[in-house]
Structure 1
Amino acid sequence: MIELYSWATPNGHKVHIMLEECGLPYRVHGIDIGAGDQFKPEFLAISPNNKIPAIVDPDGPDGKPISIFESGAILLYLAGKTGKFLPADVRGKYETLQWLMFQMGGVGPMLGQAHHFRIYAPEKIDYAVNRYTNEAKRLYGILDKRLGEVPYVAGDTYTIADMAIWPWLRSWKNQGVELEDFANVKRWFDIIEARPAVQRGVKVLADARKALQDDKAREILFGATQYARR
């Protein structure tokens, strides 16, 4: 039984979807990032970067428990454990890995900044809003071109690269993007959204998440609490 420590965010949903797609049994432990659960010592012991998600697999590669943090690393671990959603051939593997890294290094951080400056920042800074909105549109453009050439991000088959990118695009409105402007992305997005495992994955902890409204939660996520040395 995989122990999953997570919250209903794009990075959390990546792993929720992968677990559902793989069919691995797992138990969910909600880490309420608005309440500061990510700073508790027991969570930091498995996720030293105080970010969700993280997993503990009691049946690790050597038969001993292993903990993994960082969503991309978790996707790779689960793909290796199950032999699913990461091509076995060398070319297919690296086609997938490069698009996974595209998500980890570009889509996640840049769309996250677009969310922050467009939605959560206490003051609207035009330069920041324009910078990250334009970067979001650029990234969608790259995906649109790619998905005009192949059915899935890494090629002909559905992989962890699709699982990594798709949850971040669910909030396209918050990123200043019109999905209809990217026809190939929309075609792909709708195909992924229709998968039963994806539908189950995005429901994980969704009922527990609350809108970020109070000042305390904002301070925890964006203020001094987030940056304190631990």
Structure 2
Amino acid sequence: MKPASSSLFALAAAALHAALIALAINGLRAGQHNVPPRRPAQVQVQLLREQPKAAEKSPATPVQPEPLPQRPVHEHKPRTIPKPKPQPREQPAAPAKTPEAPAPTAQPSPDAAPAPARSNNTAPPAPAATAPAAPVKRGVFVDPTYLATETEKWYPRQAKRYGDQGTVLLHVTVSPAGRAEKVELKKGSGYPLLDTAAIDLAKSITYRPATLDGKPVSDSFNLPVTFQLHD
């Protein structure tokens, strides 16, 4: 059943129901007032046939446009933008220094009392304490002329006969009295007779002892003894 015919039947049914309800109400009223009931009105319902609608036209199929030729896509390479070089900042110019005004000198007031004059009886400053002088030390001394004379005396005759000559180096420790306390052979001459004669010579002679602040003290030194033949 089509929608139009169903709507017409619904309207007709509604009208019948309304007429029946109206008749029922009138009947009740007539019964109450002894009024003969009215004849029900004849209601004619005419069904109208639904005219067939014109055949709906089928929608025309849309014409699809022909696809346009696609253009070749070129790959765009990203452009590298060079970073700007940092420019040196301009330093603000130093403000010019304004010349400072001279400070006003205080002038003595006429009512102020004069300052008392300094007395000349002040004690002189104490002299600075002088550092103690370093002790003065003098080493052992032997007169070269005296040593040459003693060496000639102690020259062995046998060594002279064989022509032995040379220098002996000794290490001598001298007492405050100027005598040899210890004699050591530091370097020999190559001839045992000359080495022994030099040691005996060092033990026999008298020295000027070493001094510390003018006082004689014990000290040691190196003593060379040279044996040499003369024409």
State the structure with bigger RCO (CA 8 A, min sep 6), 1 or 2: 1
Rg larger in structure: 2
**Normalising to structure 1: TM-score of the pair?**
0.19
Q: Where is the helix percentage greater, Structure 1 or Structure 2?
A: 1
**Normalising to structure 2: TM-score of the pair?**
0.19
Q: Where is the strand percentage greater, Structure 1 or Structure 2?
A: 2
